Each structure stands twice: as structure tokens, then as C-alpha cells.
Amino acid sequence: MKEDEKKQNNKNKNIYLIIATIVLILIAAGLTIYFVTSSNKNENQEIAYTDLIKEINNGNVESIEMTVGSTSVKVKLKNETEEKTGIIPSTQAFIELIQNKVEEGNEIHLEQKKQNAFLTIFENLFTLLPTILLVILFIMLFKLQGLGDKGKVYDAETTKSKITFNDVAGLDEEKQEMIEIVDFLKNPDRFYEMGAKIPRGVLLCGKPGTGKTLIAKAIAGEANVPFISMSGSEFIEMFAGLGASRVRKLFEKAKKIAPCIVFIDEIDAIGSRRTSSSGAESENNQTLNQLLVEMDGFDTEETIIVLAATNRPEMLDKALLRPGRFDRQINIALPDLNGREAILKIHAEGKKFAKDINLRSIAEDTAGYTGAELANILNEAAIIATINKHKAITNKDIEDANKKVTIGLEKHSRIVSDKDKKLTAYHEAGHAIVSSQLETQKDIKEVSIIPRGVAGGYTMYKTNEDKYYVSKTEMEEKLISLLGGRAAEKIALNDISTGASNDIEVATQIAKDMIIKYGMSDSLGPIYIDTEKDPYELQMLGEKFGDAIGAEVKIMLDDAYSKAQKLIKNNMDKLDKVAMRLMEKEIISAEEFQELIK
């Protein structure tokens, strides 16, 4: 107990030290700005920050115009016709200050403008240079005291979202639930009068890039309420004791500006199961406990809805999911064909396209892509079109963008020796030939040995079908085509390389999933074991069971590998042809490939 108290005291001391330093920095910044602005007095249009605050306090300010991302503001005083410009140390703190003043009954008109040019950035950089230097100096001082890398203080971001449901494509059913939440936020009294309880927390579950943040912002935008966001991982990095206090502050802030949306991204970072162990984990527990306290502690009058995003809801501590906490879940799936087309339409807006571009056919080619990837492809295509001086975005630009986003950038500069080239050619030809002999794998789109990203080459498949179920046959054949690269190296070149490492990794994962996720193994039967959710589950089932799974994985992989080798041996002439052509041209289209293996 004593030890703990001491620790807590130390923590508090550290916090005071940091607060003191921050105050110092602010004073220094204020002084610098004062000097910078007063040295420019010849224009006589500027107002020092300290004066600005004075004028605000005296109620002399009529309106303030801010530019997003800039600390330069335009101030109009009540008794003057000319506008003055001033520099503020922090836009967020400033907005809060104004908001407080307005709440107190002061009439200040605050206008926020979008940034218009690089110019402003440079302007700010130069005027703030001394301040930046000072801040750097202080950071260095921190480091010297050994507080440096843990002393980062994050602040929740508060914004007014301009995003609406029109910016969210697809997700029609999910939108229905979102509309309900917007209703709560807009007319809470109607619900209270009826005796209904407003939902406190809504969990948005889905893969990264499926639009969870977008949805949270759209709900805030539609309801026209502020949006406070923070990421779970930001709580974790905080140094001892701060995680919980940040959660408290986040909600304090939310209560002040309610009705509002609080968005916690990556909630699994703080909300995963509590453990009894000490150290970093108990720190984590404190943060989670604080979150639970806050969720329970809302007054009925406060209309705050907490949206939290995660890709792994099953990892979350059950306490988080109890009634009154995150008792609603919205699952956000990958977009289907219509969804993808709708997402592409939204992100195509404002972009110039060649006449023969067909968004529907792009949507058909991108099964399994997230909304973020689709948005990314169109943006990359616009960049590629600009670089290539095209009049508009062409189909080829989109193809290139697709590869850049999914596989990585072409690396023409990487020097590839003839020996490597031959190895890659046989490896990729191996995938392609083996796949061409398998009913579920034969839709090949392109084979290439041009290095991209980390891959030395790639075999692309057509993905023009939305699949809700994958059959056992398809998974087995996938294993065979994954091992086709290694098989070709072995048989054609009588040696094997590290190039197959990723294939083998993916194949092993698929085999494991087939056995313990989908119950597809003959010997183990229908069974589901989630080792990620509960690492002890396997232990519980007994050592023998673990051994049996291992043995089954090995059997499946060995079987697939020997089938791949057999297919290679039976098609050696085709393999040579495709490998030769690859060495010569580096890339083979679907049509060319079909021609070669006829």
C-alpha cells in the first residue's frame, strides 16, 4: 500500500512538472508572439494575443474569423471599422475560450474558414518559428529529465462535422440504425417524455477502412452536434496514471458541450479483457475501469452518445457490453457489388474520367475491397493520370492505381539479376499453371515478374463475384495454387528459395482456419476453437488435441504440395513456355496466358 502511494505521489509530481512546463511554454509563446507582432507595428493592423484576450474579456470584440489549420485570426472590434490580424497559440484552446465567452452571454461572432493556400502555412511557419524553436527546446529539456518520450499529452479532438449520410455509400440497413441515433440526438426530450432510455454506447464493428469513422462523423453531422474523438491506442501510450485521467477529461469535456458524439477508435486497445496481472496491464485496467465509470455516470439529461470502433468485438471485456454501456452493435461488412459501385460514385465526384470508364465494371473487379481502398484507388488514379499528363483518368490509370494500392508500387529501379529473374519467372508461372488446372482457381487476370512493393512478382486473379460462402473444395484448391510457386521452383530449377515464404504462411493459416474455425477436417470434425480470443482454450482441450490439430495441418499442406508438384510435372511444357515469356516480357495478360497454355 505504502509503495503504491509513493508511486502515485511520484506520478502526481511528474504531472505538476509537466503542467508547469506547459505554462512556461505558453508564456514564452505569448511573449514571442507579442514581440513578433509588435515589431511589425508599421502596419498597425495587428493585435497582440494578450490584447486580444483583454478585448474579448472587455466585450469589445464583434467578430473573429479563423482559418482551419492556421493560427492567424482576423479580429473585428466593436468600435473600429478596420479588421486586425492576430496570432493565437492554439486554435482549439481559443475556440473553447470563445465558446465559453459566448455561453456567458458575450456576443462574439466566430467564423471558421477553410484554408486556401500554401501561403498561409508558410506565413504561419515564419511567424511561429521562434515559438516552434522554443517548444523544441523544451522538449529537449524534457528528454534530459528522462520524461521525454512518455510525456506526450494528447488531447481529444473536437470538431463540427460537415459529413452527412450522403457521404456514406451503401450500408442502407446500417443507415436505418444510424438515423435512429440522429433522432435521439436531435429530439432527446421526445424520447425522455415517452420514458425511453437513450442508448449510451454503440459499437461499430468492422474491418479497418470500412467506414466506421466516416459513419460516426456522419451521425454527428446529421444531428449537427460536436464530435469528440480519441483513439484507444492514444490512451495506452500515455504514461502512468494518465490513461484513466484522460478518459475522465474526455467525458468532462463531452458533458460541457452535450449533446454531442464521443468517438473512441480502436476501443479494443483499452477495452480488451481485464487481467489480474500488474504493470502495464493493470494500467490498462485502470483506463478501462474509468471508461466503465464514465459510461455509468451520465445523468439522464445529458445527451451524449459514445460510438466506439473495433475490428474485434469478441476481444472486448464483457463488462463493456452490459446494458447501459455498449449495448448496441452495428456490424459493418465489406461492401457488396452495389455498395462498391455507390462508394466509387461518391469518390468519383469532381474527378475527370475518360469516356470509356465504367464504374460498375470497376466495382465488379474489386470484390473484397474496403471503402477506403476504393477511395484510395480513385485518388491514386487521378494522381497517376496527372503525372502521365493524361487529359482524363483512363482505364489503365485505374488498373495501375489498383495494383499500387493492393500490391505496391512498381519498382523499375530495383536491379534484378538474371538468376533472380528466372527464379521469379518459374515461381509465378508455377502459381499460374497450377491454378489453371483447378476449377476454382483458374480465373487468372495477370502474371508478372515486375517487383511491386515487397513482392518480387505476382499472379493476379479475377475477383468478380461476391462470395458469402467459400467451399471446402475452393479452400483446398487455394492451398494447391499457393504452393504451386514452390513446386515449380523445385521441379524446374531443382532448388527452392525464400520467395515462397509468404505463400507458405498464407497456406498454413488457411489450413489452420479450415480445421479449427470451419470444422472442415475429417478427423477432428466440426469444431471451433478461437485461440486468439482465448489462448487457454486449446490447453483446456488437452495436449493430445493440440497434437492432432498440428498433425492435421501438416497432412493438408503436404497433400496440397504433392498435388501441386504433380500438376507441374504433368504440364512442364506449358510451365516452360509461360516462364520464358515472363522473362522476355515481364508481364502476361489473361488472354495471352490462355493462348500460351492452349
Catalytically active residues are 428
Q: Which residues of 305-337 are buried (b: 16+ CB within 10 A; e: fewer)?
A: bbbbbbbebeebbebbbeeebbebebebebbeb
How far, in Å, CA of 141 to CA of 121, rounded? 27
Cβ-contact 185, 303 below 8 angstroms: yes
Which of Zn ion, ligand ADP, none does 485 bind, CB closer than 5 to 8 A by kind? Zn ion
Q: For ligand ADP, which is the closer residue by CB, 29 or 264?
A: 264
Query: Using CB under 6 A, which of 372, 416, 491, 597 touches ligand ADP?
Result: 372
All three cell numbers of 74, joined, read 482576423
95 Cβ neighbours under 8 A, 6+ residues apart = 66, 110, 158
Cβ-contact 286, 277 below 8 angstroms: no
Residue 500 CB, shortest distance to Zn ion, in Å, is: 6
Q: For ligand ADP, which is the closer residue by CB, 174 or 489?
A: 174
Which of Zn ion, ligand ADP, none does 214 bind, CB closer than 5 to 8 A by kind? ligand ADP
- Residue 30 in the binding site for Zn ion (CB under 5 A): no
Q: For ligand ADP, which is the closer residue by CB, 151 or 206?
A: 206
168 Cβ neighbours under 8 A, 6+ residues apart = 175, 211, 214, 215, 218
Q: Which residue has the cell 534530459?
A: 144
171 Cβ neighbours under 8 A, 6+ residues apart = 211, 215, 332, 335, 339
3-class DSSP state of 468: coil
Query: Using CB under 6 A, which of 343, 381, 449, 564 touches ligand ADP?
Result: 343
Which of ligand ADP, Zn ion, none does 516 bind, CB closer than 5 to 8 A by kind? none
Number of residues this chain uses to bind Zn ion (CB under 5 A): 2
Determine which helix (DSSP H) or strand (DSSP E) holds 100, and give its type and residue range.
helix 91-103
Which of Zn ion, ligand ADP, none does 346 bind, CB closer than 5 to 8 A by kind? ligand ADP
Residue 462 CB, shortest distance to ligand ADP, in Å, is: 23
Residue 404 CB, shortest distance to ligand ADP, in Å, is: 16
Which of Zn ion, ligand ADP, none does 394 bind, CB closer than 5 to 8 A by kind? none
Cβ-contact 377, 401 below 8 angstroms: yes
Stretch that binds ligand ADP, among 5-13, 181-189, 370-378, 389-397 (CB under 6 A): 370-378
Q: Which residue has the cell 483458374?
A: 442
Which of ligand ADP, Zn ion, none does 343 bind, CB closer than 5 to 8 A by kind? ligand ADP
- Residue 214 in the binding site for ligand ADP (CB under 6 A): yes
Query: Using CB under 6 A, which of 86, 211, 221, 457 touches ligand ADP?
Result: 211
Query: Using CB under 6 A, which of 86, 209, 485, 499 touches ligand ADP?
Result: 209
All three cell numbers of 192, joined, read 425522455
Which of Zn ion, ligand ADP, none does 243 bind, CB closer than 5 to 8 A by kind? none
Angstrom CA distances, 82 to 14, 46, 85, stand at 46, 10, 10
Q: For ligand ADP, which is the closer residue by CB, 168 or 492?
A: 168
Determine which helix (DSSP H) or strand (DSSP E) holds 16, and give its type and residue range.
helix 2-39
Query: Using CB under 6 A, which of 32, 37, 131, 210 touches ligand ADP?
Result: 210
Residue 332 CB, shortest distance to ligand ADP, in Å, is: 7
Left, alpha or beta for 476 (phi > 0: left; psi -120 to 50: alpha)? alpha
Q: For Zn ion, which is the closer residue by CB, 378 or 488?
A: 488
74 forms beta bridges with 65, 85
Determine which helix (DSSP H) or strand (DSSP E) holds 343, and give its type and residue range.
helix 337-348
Residue 316 CB, shortest distance to ligand ADP, in Å, is: 16
Number of residues this chain uses to bind ligand ADP (CB under 6 A): 18
Sign of the alpha-carbon torsion through 541, 545, 547, 551:
negative
Which of ligand ADP, Zn ion, none does 375 bind, CB closer than 5 to 8 A by kind? ligand ADP
Q: For ligand ADP, which is the closer residue by CB, 341 or 477?
A: 341
444 forms beta bridges with 461
Q: For ligand ADP, which is the closer residue by CB, 345 or 585?
A: 345
How far, in Å, CA of 321 to CA of 205, rounded? 13
Binding to Zn ion in span 443-502, by CB under 5 A: 485
- Using alpha carbons only, how large is the chain's radius of gyration in Å? 30
9 Cβ neighbours under 8 A, 6+ residues apart = none
- Residue 309 in the binding site for ligand ADP (CB under 6 A): yes
Q: For ligand ADP, which is the closer residue by CB, 98 or 343?
A: 343
Stretch that binds ligand ADP, among 56-64, 83-91, 165-173, 441-449 (CB under 6 A): 165-173
All three cell numbers of 421, joined, read 529473374
- Residue 588 in the binding site for ligand ADP (CB under 6 A): no
How far, in Å, CA of 351 to CA of 52, rounded? 43
Which of ligand ADP, Zn ion, none does 430 bind, CB closer than 5 to 8 A by kind? none
Which of ligand ADP, Zn ion, none does 503 bind, CB closer than 5 to 8 A by kind? Zn ion
Q: For ligand ADP, which is the closer residue by CB, 71 or 402?
A: 402
Residue 330 CB, shortest distance to ligand ADP, in Å, is: 11
- Residue 14 in the binding site for ligand ADP (CB under 6 A): no
Q: Which of 328, 389, 332, 336 is nearest to 363 (CA)?
A: 336
Binding to ligand ADP in span 228-247, by CB under 6 A: none
All three cell numbers of 328, joined, read 448496441
Omega of the bond leading into 451 within 30 degrees of 0 (cis): no
Binding to Zn ion in span 498-517, by CB under 5 A: 503
Q: For Zn ion, which is the closer residue by CB, 175 or 431?
A: 431
How far, in Å, CA of 152 to CA of 18, rounded? 10
Query: Using CB under 6 A, which of 69, 208, 368, 519 touches ligand ADP?
Result: 208
Q: For ligand ADP, which is the closer residue by CB, 161 or 303?
A: 161
Residue 431 CB, shortest distance to Zn ion, in Å, is: 6
How far, in Å, CA of 450 to CA of 239, rounded? 46
How far, in Å, CA of 326 to CA of 306, rounded? 8
All three cell numbers of 194, joined, read 415517452
Residue 351 CB, shortest distance to ligand ADP, in Å, is: 13
Binding site for ligand ADP (CB under 6 A): 168-171, 206, 208-214, 309, 343, 346, 371-372, 375
Binding site for Zn ion (CB under 5 A): 485, 503
